[in-house]
Amino acid sequence: MEQDLLSDEEIRKILSLNRIAVVGMSKNSSKAAHYVPKYLLDHGYDITPINPTTDEILGKKCYSSVSEITQNVDVIDVFRPSDQVLSIVQEAIKKKPKVIWFQEGIHNVEAEELARQSGIQIVFNRCMLAEHQRLSR
Lateral strand order in the sheet of 46-50: 46-50, 19-23, 75-78, 99-102, 121-123
Residue 1 inside a domain? The answer is no
Q: What is the pLDDT of residues 66-78, one digit of tens each?
A: 999 999 999 999 9
Q: Domain of 108: which CATH number?
A: 3.40.50.720
Residue 125 inside a domain? The answer is yes
Q: What percent of the chain is predicted at pLDDT more than 90?
A: 98
Q: What is the pLDDT of residues 21-75, one digit of tens each?
A: 999 999 999 999 999 999 999 999 999 999 999 999 999 999 999 999 999 999 9
pLDDT at 111 over 90: yes
Q: What is the DSSP letter of 63?
A: B
Give residue 128's pLDDT.
97
Q: How far is CA 61 from CA 1, 78, 91, in A?
A: 34, 17, 19
CA pair distance 9, 13, nearest whole angstrom: 6
Q: HSE on the CB side for 13, CA within 13 Å?
A: 10
Residue 47 inside a domain? The answer is yes
Torsion sign across C-alpha atoms 69, 91, 131, 32? positive
Residue 2 inside a domain? The answer is no
Give the pLDDT mean for 7-32: 97
Domain, as residue range, for 116: 8-135
Residue 88 inside a domain? The answer is yes
pLDDT at 107 over 80: yes
Give the pLDDT mean for 121-126: 98
- State how many domains the chain has: 1
Residue 3 inside a domain? The answer is no
Q: Let me know how many helices (H) and strands (E) the chain has, helices first.
A: 5, 7
Distance spanning both ends of the chain, measured CA to CA: 26
